[in-house]
A and B are shown apart, each in its own frame.
Chain A
């Protein structure tokens, strides 16, 4: 038994590929926990960042700087009464959020946080991700239908039309990136998520800069389509608050609603990680070839620790600025403790064995975080598209552009390879 567990540590592939069920299970648990924490953090960060963009403070009451707000919200949602409209179709109403949340979590099986940090490495990785994540539209339609109410139905119809339309442009962009993976000596491409990053590694370029500007255009198409795919601003028509109150989940409340919320954020993280894997070099650190050598390796290896120390420094600065009134004593101590935890993580990340292992995960997460920040930024800046305009952008702009990029990439591949 112990041998079975330790045998994996010597291999340098994913637990799924090595066929080790124990470590695969550990990875699944880790990813599930990490994702839940990420969603909670995103909840707080989105509110804070959006608030600061809009000259207000955001949550400030629950915990220091509102740090405990997401936990309070989660608690509130859990103890809320579970309401099911009497006219609703009970079974479909019950199963819809489950479908959405299960598909949103399942895709993370193939997300490569590092060359060996994934649950498994499928040879159809990208297809798997796109296929499973597009299943969530089923849950959305079911939710809208089962609610037996006008607004949810319209929200669901909009949502399904939108997700299906943008998937095509998204797929075309993905194919042009997959085409680029075949530009090697053997001429064989790959759909495996890990294989795609390794292709970028061996070609010494992130695909976003490959065949400039073709890679960039494909990336932009994907970046737009992924916002539409996850129903976020400026494509948040299914949930257009000012038009359809809350779209397909109008009738949902409490824990069922929180499942939709969880699914939305994990879907955002999922599509962001596809974008990072396909175009932004996955787990690779910036400039792995231009800035090569021992010294640069060391410099970039220190970045994760320094980042956490920087966060800790900000936290300590905020702690020092807390009001001195005894009423805020607990909060001040709490914030200081939070800063201390961050600093501790930062220090631990400097330890050489840890440093080497978490590097990949750090760079991957940092790139995903950047993409998530863009999501928030869009939300703070753009008005919402109208439904026909949304379709126009999808079918008349992104689709022809995607086809063009695909053809040109193929031509460029023949000419330059």
Chain B
């Protein structure tokens, strides 16, 4: 296993002859991206090919680098809050939740119950939205164009709820350090419940198009396989890890927010291939619905903000707090020097860490599998580059 993990990064770019085969062919180096329809933004993958077979890959990232972590050092804790939404822009609520909870832990305060319930509902809605976007684009990469439009139609309903709640659809900035900045709007519960009723059959609709589709199964079964051991060695988290059979979900393993109150399961796969990852994510969508259903029925009354000083000056120290974002473990490591601005903020983005597994998953596969695997890793380049 170890020799597969220590990838020789220097050899990729040079044309060299590997062992001669019966029909010997020349190696070909292809640049996939940064302007390529299937790399989900500006990922550039350098592929070394033997015909259609992939001999090696190298990811070139940084085309979307905005220096988010550096910006944090020049902003107060409150001012940095909207910036985290711009990392994983399809799951902005999760990013905000992770940051707010990390700072709250540093300040040693806790958000009120009501705020925590609202946080759970919005975060799970965001997980649904993120998975829907993943499903649509992943299916599109594999050639099924129709699911994209179905998922975008339904994601729209989630975005409408966000818009009504906080005025923004994508980069929501829904939470504040110490709670939520907005009270739920009139009829929020009713609207969320209506959405749950609307979306439950829709998930079946997506599955109808894909789950038993022969071509879909052939394209995804045994493609981009990764074992649990390799996942752990590379630090891969989220649905990718769970599809390999590891029952690791931070919502259960290190409960945060109001998650201990809810009853839900962690879907786990067996083979760690693209099909299992698809199934795991589909089941996760259903579990999210379950969590929202439980939460929306019993939002407690009370304040939505804890008592937080106007000028935040956390004590000297450091904190690492991680949550289960739709794509995996999203961690914030914050070092405070006692001033109003963080000394250092380091983000552990799930996309960036999961992207490492790409090379291992596609070696020896075909070009078409590279596309499928990039899709199944569910990366967002804003989060990879930060």
Chain A residues with CB under 8 Å of chain B are 50, 53-56, 150-151, 154, 158, 233-234, 236-237, 240-245, 379-389
Are A243 and B28 neighbours in the complex by a CB distance under 8 Å? no
A243 to B369, CA, bound (A): 9
B266 within 8 A of A: no
Q: Which of B141, B142, B143 contacts A236 (CB 8 A)?
A: B143
Given A242-B38, A245-B37, A389-B218, A383:B149 Cβ within 8 A: no
B residues near A, CB below 8 A? 28, 30, 36-38, 52, 139-146, 148-150, 153, 209-210, 213, 215-216, 218-219, 366-369, 371
Q: Which residues of A contact B145 (CB under 8 A)?
A: 50, 54, 379-380
Closest residue on chain B to residue A388 by CB atoms? B366
Instruction: Pick the residue among B38, B215, B369 that contacts A382 (CB under 8 A).
Output: B215
Give the residues in chain B near A55, CB-CB below 8 Å: 149-150, 153
List the 10 shortest-distance A-B pairs measured between CB atoms, nearest first. A384-B143, A242-B38, A54-B149, A383-B144, A383-B143, A242-B141, A386-B368, A383-B142, A383-B215, A383-B216
Q: Which residue of B lies closest to A54 (CB)?
A: B149
CB-defined contacts of A154 to chain B, threshold 8 Å? 52, 367
The distance in angstroms between the C-alpha atoms of A266 and B219, with both chains bound, is: 30
Most buried by B among A150, A380, A383: A383
| Distance between A275 CB and nearest chain B CB, rounded to angstroms | 22
**Once the chains bind, are B146 and A53 in contact (CB under 8 Å)?**
yes
Q: List 14 A-B contacts (CB under 8 A).
A: A54-B148, A54-B149, A55-B150, A236-B143, A242-B38, A242-B143, A379-B145, A381-B146, A381-B209, A382-B215, A383-B210, A383-B213, A384-B219, A387-B368
Closest chain B residue to A384, Cβ basis: B143
B interface SS class = helix
Q: A240 to B143, Cβ gap below 8 A?
A: yes
In the complex, what residues of B have CB within 8 A of residue A54's CB? 145-146, 148-150
Contacts A381-B146, A381-B209, A386-B366 hold; do A150 and B28 have CB atoms under 8 A apart? yes
Chain B nearest Cβ from A391, distance in angstroms: 11
Is A233 a contact of B143 with CB atoms below 8 Å? yes
Contacts of B142 in A (CB 8 A): 242, 383-384
For residue B153, which residue of chain A has the nearest CB? A55
Residue contact A383 to B366, C-beta cutoff 8 Å:
no
Most buried by B among A56, A154, A242, A379: A242
Residues of A within 8 A of B37 (CB): 241-242, 245
Known contacts A383-B143, A386-B366; 10 further A-B pairs (Cβ under 8 A): A55-B149, A236-B143, A240-B368, A241-B37, A242-B38, A243-B371, A382-B215, A386-B219, A387-B368, A389-B218
Kindly state the separation between the CA atoms of A243 and B216 in the bound complex, as whole angstroms.
16
Q: What's the least CB distance linking A140 to chain B, in Å? A: 17
Task: Flag if B366 contacts A234 (CB, 8 Å).
Answer: no
Tell me the smallest distance from the CB of B230 to a CB of chain A, in Å: 23
Q: Which of B28, B144, B209 has the most CB of A within 10 A?
A: B144
User: Considering the chains assembled together, what is the distance between the CA atoms of A329 and B144 in angstroms?
Assistant: 39
- Are B143 and A382 neighbours in the complex by a CB distance under 8 Å? yes
Chain A nearest Cβ from B15, distance in angstroms: 13
> From B39, which residue of chain A is reached at the shortest CB distance?
A242
**Are the C-beta atoms of A386 and B146 separated by less than 8 Å?**
no
Known: A56-B149, A243-B38, A380-B146. A386 touches B213 (CB 8 A): no
- Closest Cβ–Cβ distance, residue B249 to chain A (whole Å): 29
Query: In the complex, A239→B140 CA distance in Å?
Result: 14
Asked whether, in the complex, the Cβ of A389 is within 8 Å of the Cβ of B219, the reply is: yes
Is the pair A383, B367 in contact by a Cβ cutoff of 8 Å?
no
CB pair B144–A382 under 8 Å, yes or no, is yes
Closest to B36 in A: A245
Which residue of the partner chain A has the closest CB to B220?
A383
Chain A: minimal CB distance from B317 (Å): 47
- CB A21 to nearest CB in B, in angstroms, measures 47
List of A residues within 8 angstroms of B38 by Cβ = 242-243
Instruction: List, in ascending order, chain B residues with CB within 8 A of A241's CB.
Output: 37
Chain A residues whose CB sits within 8 angstroms of the CB of B215 once the complex forms: 234, 382-385, 389
Task: Report which of A382, A384, A387 forms a contact with B52, defined as CB distance below 8 A.
Answer: A387
Most central of A56, A384, A388 by chain B CB within 10 Å: A384
Residues of B within 8 A of A245 (CB): 36-37
**Quick check: B146 and A243 within 8 Å, CB to CB?**
no
| A contact residues around B153 at 8 Å (CB) | 55
Contact: B218 with A386, CB < 8 Å? Answer: yes
Question: Which residues on B sit within 8 Å (CB–CB) of A56?
Answer: 149
Give the residue name and chain of the A residue nearest to B47 (CB).
Answer: A150
- With a CB–CB cut-off of 8 A, which chain A residues contact B146? 53-54, 380-381
In the assembled complex, how far is the CB of residue B237 from the closest CB belonging to chain A, in whole angstroms? 26
In whole Å, how far is A231's beta carbon from the nearest beta carbon of chain B? 13
Could you say which residues of chain A place their CB within 8 Å of the CB of B150? Answer: 54-55
Query: Quick one: given A55-B153, A233-B143, A241-B37, are A385 and B219 in contact (CB under 8 Å)?
Result: yes
In the assembled complex, which residues on chain B have CB atoms less than 8 Å from the CB atom of A53?
Answer: 146
Question: Which residues of chain A have C-beta atoms less than 8 A from B149's C-beta?
Answer: 54-56
Chain A: which residue is nearest B144 at the CB level?
A383
Give the shortest distance, in Å, between B207 (CB) and chain A (any CB).
14
Complex contacts, B36 vs chain A, CB 8 Å:
245
Instruction: Provide the bound-state CA to CA distance between A354 and B315, in Å.
Output: 93
- Bound CA span A240–B148, Å: 17
Closest to A158 in B: B52
Q: A244 CA to B215 CA in the complex, in Å? A: 19
Given the known interface contacts A55-B153, A150-B28, the answer about A242 and B219 at a Cβ–Cβ threshold of 8 Å is no
Which of B210, B213, B371 has a CB less than 8 Å from the CB of A242?
Answer: B371
Chain A residues near B368: list those with CB within 8 A.
237, 240, 243, 384, 386-387
Closest chain B residue, CB of each to CB of A242: B38
Q: Given A242-B140, A382-B215, are A387 and B366 neighbors across the interface (CB < 8 Å)?
A: yes
**Which of B52, B139, B150 gathers most chain A CB within 10 Å?**
B52
- B386 vs chain A, min Cβ distance (A): 26
Q: Which residues of A contact B139 (CB under 8 A)?
A: 383
Return chain B residues, CB-CB under 8 Å to A381: 144, 146, 209
Tell me, in angstroms, the Cα distance from A50 to B216 when the chains sit together. 20
- Nearest-CB distance from B380 to chain A (Å)? 17
**In the assembled complex, how far is the CB of residue B43 from the closest CB belonging to chain A, in whole angstroms?**
13
- Cα A379 to Cα B140 in complex, Å, equals 12
The complex places the Cα of A386 from the Cα of B221 at a distance, in Å, of 12
Q: Which of chain B's residues have a CB closer than 8 A to the CB of A384? A: 142-144, 215, 219, 368
